[in-house]
Structure 1
Amino acid sequence: MEDLFTSHDALAVAELVRSRQVGARELLDATVTRLREANGHLKAITDFYDGDLLERSAAAAGEGPFHGIPFVVKQLMADCAGTPTTVGSRFFSKEPVAVNDSAAVTRLRRAGLVIVGRSNTSEFGLAPTTEPAFGEATVNPWRADLSPGGSSGGSAAVVAARLLPMAHATDGGGSIRIPASLCGLFGLKPSRGRISLAPIGETLAGAGAQLGVSISVRDSAALLDALAGGEPGDPYRAPEAEGSFLDATRRTPGKLRVAFLRKPVGWESMDPALVAAVERTARRLEALGHHVEEATPDYDPVATGMAFGTVMCANTFTNIQVRANGRIPGPGDLEPVTRLYAEQGGKVSAHDYIRAVQTFHRTGRQLGAFFEKFDILLSPTIARPSLPLGAVRMDGSLEQYEEGLAPMVAFTSVCNAAGVPAMSVPLEWTDDGLPIGMHFVARYGAEATLLSLAAQLEQAHPWRDRRPPGVK
């Protein structure tokens, strides 16, 4: 039982539970015990379910594909009935507990998952690391002085440590893919509107999305099958997929037209180790029969970045106002960068906000034109090989914060602005054995193409046995 998630993915363990080779209760109790023990070091889970809350969570799990699998939900963009959603902030740490589950959480339970706790995040998900002032910094299982990335770092850390086979994650500018890259996991950001964010209407002008991080491609595909679909009144809805996403992992992707980048759009250069990783991945794709060439999409990264800043600031201000319900944050209630973002957000005019949203839409059209010529865009997930703890500052100036942020979102955030699906796949490694995620982007609605390609790469270049030191 102790090393079950080292050798099995979620679907495989669920099958053991269904066939009664593994007891659901035994699995739940053993997993919670291991999570609690490891969390003393990882600092990845902020709230554990116990007592009546855990019993109700177990009773609420359905007979779906993940029947009996323990699971954690990130403290952002998703409410779980009976617990507060802190958004990683001291100011909201004493929020009233949620009365109802978010739509996605309802679907998670229906799929058979047993929610056992909430995972750590940066405050409001603003930082691409997981070092909130409220609580403690989450440690990367690969090396204790490194961040697991963010803002879904808590979820990524427990999966990388093989304490769970997959966990909930959200992505507003790269927050699924960045920690997947730094922790050696598979992470897919779905298309805009693929998974409902109900009861909220949208987040970040449509840039926000949710799904999870996992060890296996098929687990993420099955999780997408379980969560995909809209709710009445959703402002966006992705086109219906042809067949299941899990089925997509069982078929070859065919010969794809792949473009690759040696550096972020608008940058002069990139770390040579990352360039070499892209070039090796391009050769691997050629060996699999795909057409590969260097090509750069035509969009304005400066304008897109400025639009993101406007949308982020305005959303931070508004979300604090709405959630606070009249309360005023005190001097120590918000991290300095969060406070600065909120202050700037309060000054954003309607004109500026509309122009930012129009920039998002223009960028989406430009990427749409690019994907008329290519099926896939390949790059590294992030523009640095690792992320030391403390490298992204939330306790200093905006200039310090933005300097640390830039290489983390250089490839990822444009996908959020445009609403297109993208994934990080653990195909490369540094000379000292740290994971490097490769980033693959596809046209709007083409998650099946990405998952089919990811499954092909997983079979040709498996990563599941590459584990952090000390993980059995």
Structure 2
Amino acid sequence: MDFGDYRRHDAVGLAGLVARREVSARELLDAAVARMEAVNPQINAVTQDLTERARGQPADAGPLCGVPFLLKDLGAALAGTPTTAGSRLFANAVAQADSAITAAYKDAGLSIFGKTNTPEFGLWPMTESEFLGVCRNPWDLSRTPGGSSGGAAAAVAAGIVPAAHASDGGGSIRTPASCCGLFGMKPSRGRVSFAPLGEGWAGASIQHAVTRSVRDSAALLDVACRPQPGDPYFLAPPETPFAEEAAREPGRLRIAFTTAAMQSAGLDPECEAAVRETARLCEQLGHEVEEAKIPGDVAAMQAAAGAVIAASIAANLDAEAERRGRPIEAGEIEAPTMATYRRGQGVSAAAYVRGLQALHAYARAEAQLFETYDVLLLSTLGSPAIPIGWILDDPKQIAERLFAFMPNTQAFNNTGQPAMTVPLAWSRSGLPIGMQFVARMGGEATLFRLAGQLEQARPWFDRTPPL
């Protein structure tokens, strides 16, 4: 199978070819590996090559049998391989068993042949790890593919795979999907198990995927949404599979929109214009659309999330220090991570609980909007993909630049609501601009139905980077 034939199909399409015996799983893997070898030196998306392992473990069943697939090097363990979390500290942290989501992917027949780049511990909306190296955007190699699932998004945009595992603790699915012209769904809290681990960042983090098509995202979520014994909270699998929902009409939805930048001064003009154009598109599709103000104390939410994340990082690093019997030293982790670690060590138990209470209060305030509306529309990011190095090159402006780039994603990690980014707009320079849609808790079906309608109205599958 040549690359042109391979790229014409999404994951569901490739699985259909295998099921009909029009192509073999080995041929698909060969096509994926050939593409990886051709483009990965330019983008540094795949940081662990597990091709020989994949060749030795052929899939023979499952709804996605034979489809080449990549795991993010954070959050999902694959037995016998290290999960580095983008840090030299865990370069040799070899997993003894698969995570629940990895087992689900294997049961679906996916052929896992590598792991993708991520910033250290998933802390950044760009992918520039000192340990794994800089990952680059296939649309413009001088720009970031986003983060923390930057390697996953770059690999999908570059055509190595049609879909890849990703995770999202503050925007880490939606940010890279927006930067790379992909579809990215952050599921509801509790939709995908983190077993055998506990929750991530007090429930803010969730795993799923970045994809080129809506139906691939739906099919992968059907595969992954399997509650595990002992999960601290969970949502039961839907009565109607998400893959079926993605093919259904959404009906007439009540859609609120805003051009606000929730955690910064304002949007790039192209992003603001894209929101208004998307609102008009939704009206043309028959939805009831009106501008609205988002409720809730964003500043309190942001401060609380910062304390909770820092404390979570400190807990994990303290555990590693105890395991090995010596403290974490400067140079073992990146300097900004060390600053977060030190901050987290200073968060008291009472301050952590107050932080959780502030996040829960924000979620309750936010939920009031969805008593009136079915969906909220806003820009995924503050701007198109930023130049590599821009956030960190001025230490005095890191926080300001960070939230100027990602002002609108973190809120919905803290509320636990499902949120998706859809590649509906493009900058004058040809960079993708994602539009974010949010539904009430557990409302993935609504989002998938709307996404399927938008995909038909403004197709993006054949719009690929010139890499």
| Contact 1:382-1:408 at 8 Å conserved across structures | yes
| Contact 2:6-2:28 at 8 Å conserved across structures | no
Q: CA deviation at 1:49?
A: 0.7
Instruction: Summarize deviations over 1:111-137 as a string: whole Å, max 9, x none.
Output: 110100110000000010000000210
Q: CA deviation at 1:218?
A: 0.1
Secondary structure, aligned partner of 1:82 = coil
With 28-37 and 254-263 compared, the bigger mean Cα shift is at 28-37
> 423, 434, 451: which is aligned to 1:454?
451
Q: CA deviation at 1:383?
A: 0.8
- Alignment correspondent of 2:379: 380
Secondary structure, aligned partner of 2:129 = coil
| Pair 1:419–1:34, CA change in 2 (3 A) | same
- Alignment correspondent of 2:406: 409
| Contact 1:178-1:408 at 8 Å conserved across structures | no
> 243, 246, 258: which is aligned to 2:243?
246
Output aligned runs, 1:330-341, within 5 Å.
330-341=329-340
Secondary structure, aligned partner of 1:205 = coil
| Contact 2:270-2:383 at 8 Å conserved across structures | no
Uncovered stretches (5+) of structure 1, i.e. residues with no partner: none
Q: Give the aligned length.
A: 464
Output aligned runs, 1:218-233, within 5 Å.
218-233=215-230
Instruction: Give distance in 2, aligned partners of 1:4 and 1:313.
Output: 46
Identity, in percent, stands at 48
With 294-303 and 418-427 compared, the bigger mean Cα shift is at 294-303
> 121, 124, 134: which is aligned to 2:121?
124
Q: CA deviation at 1:37?
A: 2.8
> 76, 79, 86: which is aligned to 1:78?
76
Instruction: Give distance in 1, aligned partners of 2:5 and 2:161.
Output: 9
Q: CA deviation at 1:55?
A: 3.6
Q: CA deviation at 1:108?
A: 0.6
Q: CA deviation at 1:319?
A: 1.2
Show structure 1 runs of 4+ deviating over 4 A: none
Q: CA deviation at 1:267?
A: 4.9
Uncovered stretches (5+) of structure 2, i.e. residues with no partner: none
Q: CA deviation at 1:101?
A: 0.3
Q: CA deviation at 1:266?
A: 6.2
Instruction: Give distance in 2, aligned partners of 1:153 and 1:187.
Output: 12
Instruction: Summarize deviations over 1:380-404 as a string: whole Å, max 9, x none.
Output: 10011221100122x874x533222
User: CA RMSD, aligned part only?
Assistant: 1.4
Q: CA deviation at 1:407?
A: 2.1
- Alignment correspondent of 2:304: 307
- Alignment correspondent of 1:112: 109
- Alignment correspondent of 1:45: 46
Name the amino acid aligned to 1:351. A
Secondary structure, aligned partner of 2:346 = coil
Q: CA deviation at 1:240?
A: 4.4
- Alignment correspondent of 1:8: 9
Instruction: Give distance in 1, aligned partners of 2:406 and 2:358.
Output: 17
Output aligned runs, 1:14-93, within 5 Å.
14-51=15-52, 53-56=53-56, 58-59=57-58, 61=59, 63-93=61-91
| Contact 1:62-1:111 at 8 Å conserved across structures | no
- Alignment correspondent of 2:390: 391
Instruction: Give distance in 1, aligned partners of 2:267 and 2:394.
Output: 26
Instruction: Summarize deviations over 1:55-105 as a string: whole Å, max 9, x none.
Output: 44x33x35111100111100111100110100000111122x111000000
Secondary structure, aligned partner of 2:210 = strand
Instruction: Give distance in 1, aligned partners of 2:328 and 2:178.
Output: 34
Q: CA deviation at 1:362?
A: 1.1
Name the amino acid aligned to 2:276. E
Q: CA deviation at 1:457?
A: 0.2
**TM-score (normalizing by structure 2):** 0.97
Output aligned runs, 1:203-282, within 5 Å.
203-265=200-262, 267-282=264-279
Instruction: Give distance in 2, aligned partners of 1:268 and 1:187.
Output: 25
Name the amino acid aligned to 2:202. A
Instruction: Give distance in 1, aligned partners of 2:348 and 2:265.
Output: 33
| Contact 1:155-1:168 at 8 Å conserved across structures | yes
Instruction: Give distance in 1, aligned partners of 2:320 and 2:390.
Output: 29
| Contact 2:257-2:290 at 8 Å conserved across structures | yes
Instruction: Give distance in 1, aligned partners of 2:28 and 2:43.
Output: 21
**TM-score (normalizing by structure 1):** 0.96
Name the amino acid aligned to 2:41. G
Name the amino acid aligned to 2:91. S
Secondary structure, aligned partner of 2:391 = coil
| Pair 1:449–1:333, CA change in 2 (3 A) | same
